[in-house]
Each structure stands twice: as structure tokens, then as C-alpha cells.
Amino acid sequence: MNSVPPPAFEIAASPGESWTLPGRAYTDPAIFDQERKAIHFRSWHYAGSTLELAKPGSYLTARILDQAVIIVRGKDQSIRGFYNVCQHRAHELLTGRGQVGVITCPYHAWSYGTDGRFRGGRGTADMPQARSGGFDLKSVRVEILADRFVFFNLDPQAMALSDQAAGLAEELRREVPQFDQLVPDSATLTTELRANWKVLVDNFLECYHCHNAHPAFADMLDMKTYRVDSRPYWMSQKSRLAKADNRAYPVAPGAACTEGLFWWLWPTTTFNVLPGSAELTVFNFLPLDTDRSVQTLQRFALPGSTPDAARDRYGNGELTDEDVALCESVQRGLHSQGYGAGRFVYDPAGGETSEAAVHQFHRLVAQALAQA
């Protein structure tokens, strides 16, 4: 086998024979610019829950890089997506989440229906574009996963989410305790990291680092049962609870969930279940620039339930702090002249040391950039 990595972005079919993406894939602004259109503007990104869009006029906003979108339930009960920009002078229309009867621009008060159609503006009555639909909002594709999760895609020709995530909805329903009863928390936590978005995904997709970097996590879960399953566009990691009394947080007897369950969906979304009461969190790993990303978290739990304070302190405290430190150190190291590319550790059985899911992620990145 060669002792030096092959040319950039040649990811071998077998993880045991492959080099990783080179360091410059994480640090070169030109590659980051390629990713904007080749990956982020052609992919499905998580925006929120259908339960936040319960009534006509309820809306949420989302963003991928510099592209902002509105997702709104219309009077006909359809959920639609639009670019969040007024067709007059480009002012953003809505912020956050909320309820509207008519979408009205804060700048010059041009207005739009929840179906995106132009409603009017002072001085526009005789303009032909106003009568022909030329001022209607520009549409963005929206699809729903598992009747709960709202995704948007800027590419009208992209693969359908239902095809990309084939089998994922069924697995979530089958394996997440009380899935159909979980509702979203109104709060969304946001953490900015000084690391490329791909570093965050790399770190999520393997537990090879867990014994060393997350000792409490490795004490809570039975690492001998840890399994990594890599699919074309989504991956899972699962492990049984080792002991209720562990170094991370205590798990109550008879807890609804006695496993750690983690799913990733290309390119930026993860679904996470930690042992304990019924709860699921959705993370987004979103790019800001070459060396900065933002991690967002939305929690789903049973209506009226009280969050497990010990689990929250661990998951959003110690565990997150450990991962932030890891990712930021890796990002600094990727700039080093002493690093070119790495290798994947491969376990054919898909055990805790397996980096097969990271390998598949690198293949998807390389393929997307090659087709740009």
C-alpha cells in the first residue's frame, strides 16, 4: 500500500483501504465556496417540526449560509416554503417563529398571502407584474419526515427526501420510545464552534474516540454492544445501557429508554436519544465559514414532562464541552503543515472502533464536489 495519500478527494470504496479527505478540504476557502452550491444549496436541511405549524398562518424561519427561508402553513392546510425576501427591495420578511394572517414586509409594507401570492403594495395596482404573478414569493421545496420533521431544499431538482432517507422514518418510529407522543420544546439551543462543519459531522459519526474523550459516556453505555450501521445517505449508532448508576448521570429504574440511539442524515442533521425518560433531540451542524460552524438543538419530549436535569447537565454541558474542545483542536490541527490526510479505522462487524460511517460521509462530500 502507498505510504502517501492519493490525490485530493479520491476516497477508496473500502474504508480499510482509503485515505480521509485531506486537511485542505476543511481549511481552503475555495473548497468551502464549492460546497455552498455543490452540497448545501442542493441538500435537505432541518427547519423545525410540523407541530410548530399547527394552524393556518403559523410559520417558522430557517437559514443555510446566506439563504433565508420561510416555512408556513397556508389556509388550505398545505405547508409551503419560500425564500425569506420581499420582491420589492429585498428586505427579509419574517424572523423567528410565529403566526401571521398576511406576510407584510417591514420596509415598504408589500404584502403576501400564506400561499406566497402577492397581495399588494401602495402604488402597485397598475403594475403588470402585480397582476401576472411576477411579484409572488419564490418557492423553496419542503418535505416532511416521519410526519414530524420539516426539511427544506433550495434545489428543485434534488433527490426527494423520501428517497434519500428511505427507511429512516420507520426506524425512528420503531426504536424511539413513545415517538408519536413527543412534542417540540419551544427553546432552541445554539452553540458556535471554531471548526469546519465537516469536523462536527466526522466527530458525530464515530465512537472510536469515546473511551478516551468521553469517559462518562463510555461508562454509561455498553461499548461491547455498540454498533455502527452505514447507509447511502444516513447512518446509525446504537448501544445498550451498561449500568443505571454511572459516571454520566443516573438512569431511573424502569426508564422508557435503556439505549443510546443516534442517527445522522446527509448532510447536516442528527437525531439523538440518550438513556432515560422519553426524549429526542435534533441537532443541526450548519456551516458559517471555513473555520466556524453553528450547532443548533431542538428537544422533543412528552407533553407536560419535566426535563431530566442531570441528563441535561451532562448532555448539554460536559458531553458538549468535550466535543467542542475536540472539534476545535482538530480544526487547528488541520491547518498544520505537518498533516496531509488520515486513515480510517475499519471494523467489518461495525463495532465501537468503526469509522465506516465517516468514510461514507467523506465519499458523499467527494462525490458532490466532483459533480459541481
pLDDT of 188 > 50? The answer is yes
Asked if the structure places residue 1 within a domain, the reply is no
DSSP string, 289-324: ETTEEEEEEEEEE-TTPPP-HHHHHIIIIIHHHHHH
Domain count, the chain: 2
**198 plus 257 within the same structural domain:** yes
Specify whether 33 is located in the same domain as 182. yes
Task: Tell me what percent of the residues of the chain surpass a pLDDT of 90.
Answer: 93
Domain hosting residue 61, numbered range = 50-153
Same domain, yes or no, for 102 and 124?
A: yes
pLDDT digits (tens, 9 = 90+) for 274-331: 999 999 999 999 999 999 999 999 999 999 999 999 999 999 999 999 999 999 999 9
Can you give the pLDDT at residue 1? 43
Q: Poorest-confidence range of 21-35, 86-100, 122-136?
A: 122-136
Task: Classify residue 161: in a domain, yes or no.
Answer: no
> What pLDDT shows up at residue 7?
54
Q: Cβ distance 74 to 137 under 8 Å?
A: no
Q: Contact at 8 Å (CB) between 247 and 216?
A: yes
CATH number, residue 67? 2.102.10.10
Same domain as 348, residue 231? yes
Query: Is there a single domain that holds both residue 63 and residue 34?
Result: no
Query: Do residues 72 and 131 share a domain?
Result: yes
With H, G, I as helix, E, B as strand and everything else as coil, classify residue 132. Answer: helix
- In the prediction, which pLDDT does 4 show? 58
In this structure, the answer to whether residues 149 and 213 fall within a common structural domain is no
Residue 23 lies in a domain: yes
Whether residue 27 has pLDDT greater than 60:
yes
Q: Prior bond to 267 cis, omega within 30?
A: yes
Of 104, 124, 153, at which residue does a domain stop?
153
Q: Calculate what percentage of the chain has a pLDDT beyond 70.
A: 97
Predicted local confidence at residue 113, as pLDDT? 98
* Mean pLDDT, rounded, of the chain: 95
Is 70 exceeded by the pLDDT of residue 75? yes
Q: Are residues 142 and 227 in the same domain?
A: no
0.85 exceeded by pTM: yes
Task: Tell whether 196 and 247 lie within a shared domain.
Answer: yes
Give 251-268 pLDDT, tens digit per residue.
999 999 999 999 999 999
In 3D space, the residue among 102, 126, 122 whose CA is nearest the CA of residue 112 turns out to be: 102
> DSSP letters along 216-269, please?
HHHHHB-GGG-EEEE-SSEEEEEEEB--SS-SS----TT-SB-EEEEEEETTTE
Give 296: exposed, middle or buried? Use CB within 10 Å, 0-12, 13-18, 19+: middle
Cα torsion 112, 113, 118, 124: sign: negative
Residue 154: what pLDDT?
A: 98
Kindly state whether residues 25 and 74 are assigned to the same domain.
Answer: no
Claim to verify: residue 124 and residue 193 sit in the same structural domain: no
Judge if 181 and 216 occupy the same domain.
yes
Q: Predicted confidence band at 131 (pLDDT cuts at 50, 70, 90)?
A: confident
CATH number for position 317: 3.90.380.10
Q: What is the per-residue pLDDT across 91-115, written as a single tens digit (0 to 9) for each?
A: 999 999 999 999 999 999 999 999 9
